[in-house]
Amino acid sequence: MNPKGVAPLGRLKPRRIIASGASQSAGRLTTYYNSIQPLANLFDGFILLVSGGTTRQDLDVPVFRLLSETEVAISGFVGAPIQADSETLRVWQVAGAAHADRTFLDANAGAAARDGVPTTDPATCGRPAGSEVRFAHVVNQAHQLLVRWIRFGSAPPASPAIELIGDAPPRMIARDELRLALGGIRIADLEVPTALNTGTNTGPAFCVLFGTHIPFEPATLDMLYPNRRTYVKQVELTVLQNLLDGFIGIDDALTTIVDALLSDVGR
């Protein structure tokens, strides 16, 4: 509470302080929120990424929890309920996203090689690893909405739940004919698919967290998108709906559309 020495902000005085963590760090931040935040009252909001757990509901500090398909699958399998939204909690579930997706794996490989840290080789997983659903686009929007929530008390929209099959654990994620998850927040990477992206995988060690990415065969792409206009139009409509629903921001929306225009799908 009273740090000494280096002043990383110089003379700047923060207006809002947000605590953010992913995976194990998010689990520890959940403990902090429940036990320390009421005493210290240091943070104005919390973002908890790819981690389960529950937060107490008697504080007035907003919490944003973002789950990939991986956490939902694990939760359904072991029967751990996902905490419901409240006045101070939003839980978003992103279909097709993975706990440790392709963006993470690419960054982690470089850092691990640099530092000599042993990691799980994605090539040893049961299926091609690394979902390419851009979970980060939804996370970016969550940060923006959390700031608005803190400043104005305007709660973010609720997320649809990823669908599960069965009434008791182990429950599996419901999937369509392309084996894509049903329900949840559906950004264009999943809703207008060019590959099988999931939050699940098999294999040694951390493979279960890497998700799956398997490009569709040309025949499948031709069936889904008989021409380029069909593909680009579907991406544009999905992006517009995501924007209207409040699940992505304008910058990431434009990135998605530009990527579709530059792709070879439907050519």
The tens place of each residue's pLDDT in the chain, 267 residues long, gives 566 788 888 889 899 999 999 999 999 999 999 999 999 999 999 999 999 999 999 999 999 999 999 999 999 999 999 999 999 999 999 999 999 999 999 988 778 778 887 889 999 999 999 999 999 999 999 999 999 999 999 999 999 999 999 999 999 999 999 999 999 999 999 999 999 999 999 999 999 999 999 999 999 999 999 999 999 999 999 999 999 999 999 999 999 999 999 999 988
**Looking at the 3D structure of the chain, how many domains does it have?**
1
Q: How far is CA 102 from CA 96, 157, 245, in A?
A: 12, 27, 25
How many H-runs (helices) and E-runs (strands) does the chain carry?
9, 8
Tell whether 4 is covered by a domain. Answer: no
Tell whether 10 is covered by a domain. Answer: no
Phi, psi of 63 (to 5 degrees): -130, 130
Whole-angstrom Cα distance, residue 148 to residue 164? 32
Q: Which helix (H) or strand (E) holds 198?
A: strand 195-198
- Degrees, nearest 5: CA angle 43-46-49: 150
Tell whether 267 is covered by a domain. Answer: no
Residue 100's domain comprises 18-262
Tell whether 77 is covered by a domain. Answer: yes
Predicted structure pTM score: 0.94
Q: Which residues pair with 162 in a beta bridge?
A: 183
Tell whether 174 is covered by a domain. Answer: yes
Q: How far is CA 123 from CA 119, 168, 210, 232, in A?
A: 11, 33, 11, 32
According to the model, what pLDDT value does residue 3 have?
66
According to the model, what pLDDT value does residue 6 have?
85
Tell whether 7 is covered by a domain. Answer: no
Q: How far is CA 38 from CA 27, 41, 49, 56, in A?
A: 17, 6, 21, 10
Tell whether 2 is covered by a domain. Answer: no
